[in-house]
Amino acid sequence: MSQLAAKHGAINLSQGYPNFEVDQQLKDLVNHYIQAGFNQYAPMAGVLALRQAIARKKEVLYGCSLNPKTEITITNGATEAIYSTISALVGAGDEVIIFEPAYDSYVPSIEVNGGVVVALRLKSPDFRIDWEQVKDAVTPKTRMIMVNSPHNPSGVMLRHEDLAALQEIVADTNILVLSDEVYQHLIYEGRRHESALRYPDLFRRSIITMSFGKTFHVTGWRIGYVIAPPEITTEIRKVHQSNTFGINRPLQHALADYLATPEHYLSLPAFYQQKRDLFFELMADTPFEFLECRGTYFALASYRKISDMGDQEFARWLTREKGVAVIPISSFYSDGTDEKIVRFCFAKTDKMLAAAAEKLVGIEELSPAHSCLV
């Protein structure tokens, strides 16, 4: 969709990345560490100062006590964290339960390692997990259950009851849990992030993936991390070592210093909530029907009032004819489930959001728009 947006000069609200500037203080710190000569290989598990800063942060946020030496590994974005985890822990024939719509690296990472994807479908508008269905899907071959909260693309968050149900299902089994929490700070109306780190019994068999790209508007830096108990971390590092060895060193030092000021991440919910509210307000006069967005920087909207096209076709049409690119959510389902919903990314400047809304406000309801499409 980003390529199509570029081709047609459309405003790109498709791919999930911010278009605003990185904090000058963070950029200065990177410069500082490059000038100061921190330019050679970083330790394989990550710069210790950064791992210590992460451990302190998690203790403050989630009340857990992590050993930075044995439980935290810095990775090439959360994508590498997910891949190295699956590659280390999922073998041929192992079943992995995922919930779709799902971030698009999950299925290929499982399949390329010989795992078998067991995809359970979440349905709009609430995209809730049916834990009875999960129980039924568990077999002796189930190796892992992957959850993502706050959830891309739906913006739904797991609640305490969800974590409790998950914990009960995996207790006394060999099933591992991969909890993808890259949007941990993008949570609205003061909700509590139910991290797997808050649940000691669950954490014993969990792997948590996180991303600085999402947190500090630096998706191009490719820095994330994976948290897991020591014996699981040892296995993940065996893959990480051959995959990337170490991650960009000056950036790690800069992030370690930057994390020392909690305001840098504690201010994020208010910052993005303002963006979300502005976007909804700007889009209020369009025929799109928005679903509730509790977290992430994505908003889902049904376009049923505009067209009955499939979502892929609709997204291409919107890009080409209306100049705004979005993501069709069938792309997040391996069977192409089409709920006639598209995803907007609102991690954009206010000016860009206003320009996009201006292009969409005049869009007509079903019949006229439809007739020009088909």
- Residues of the shown chain interacting with ligand PLP in the complex, contacts defined by CB under 6 A: 16, 77-79, 103, 148, 152, 180, 182, 211, 213, 219, 224
**Which lies closer to ligand PLP via its Cβ, residue 180 or residue 311?**
180
At position 144, the amino acid (one-letter code) is M
Q: What's the closest the beta carbon of residue 213 comes to ligand PLP, in angstroms?
A: 4
Q: What's the closest the beta carbon of residue 78 comes to ligand PLP, in angstroms?
A: 4
**Which lies closer to ligand PLP via its Cβ, residue 103 or residue 199?**
103
Q: Which residue is nearest to ligand PLP (CB)?
A: 77
Q: What's the closest the beta carbon of residue 363 comes to ligand PLP, in angstroms?
A: 27
CB–CB of 230/70 below 8 Å?
A: yes
Q: What's the closest the beta carbon of residue 241 comes to ligand PLP, in angstroms?
A: 19
**Which lies closer to ligand PLP via its Cβ, residue 322 or residue 343?**
343
d(CA 296, CA 305): 25
**Which lies closer to ligand PLP via its Cβ, residue 194 or residue 363?**
194
Q: What's the closest the beta carbon of residue 181 comes to ligand PLP, in angstroms?
A: 9
At position 194, the amino acid (one-letter code) is E
**Which lies closer to ligand PLP via its Cβ, residue 106 or residue 303?**
106
Q: What's the closest the beta carbon of residue 108 comes to ligand PLP, in angstroms?
A: 13
**Which lies closer to ligand PLP via its Cβ, residue 152 or residue 330?**
152
Q: What's the closest the beta carbon of residue 172 comes to ligand PLP, in angstroms?
A: 29
Q: What's the closest the beta carbon of residue 206 comes to ligand PLP, in angstroms?
A: 15
CB–CB of 20/350 below 8 Å?
A: no
Exposed, middle or buried, 39 (CB in 10 Å: 0-12/13-18/19+)? exposed
**Which lies closer to ligand PLP via its Cβ, residue 228 or residue 309?**
228
The torsion of the CA quartet 4, 7, 11, 16, rounded to 10 degrees, works out to 40
Contacts of 287 (CB under 8 A, 6+ apart): 303, 305, 306, 363, 364, 365
Quickly list DSSP for 32-70: HHHHTT--S---TT--HHHHHHHHHHHHHHH-----HHH
3-state secondary structure of 343: strand
In the chain, where does DSSP find H-type helix?
2-8, 24-35, 48-62, 68-71, 77-89, 106-112, 131-137, 160-170, 200-203, 212-215, 230-243, 249-258, 263-266, 268-283, 311-317, 350-361, 366-373
**Which lies closer to ligand PLP via its Cβ, residue 16 or residue 46?**
16
CB–CB of 347/17 below 8 Å?
A: yes
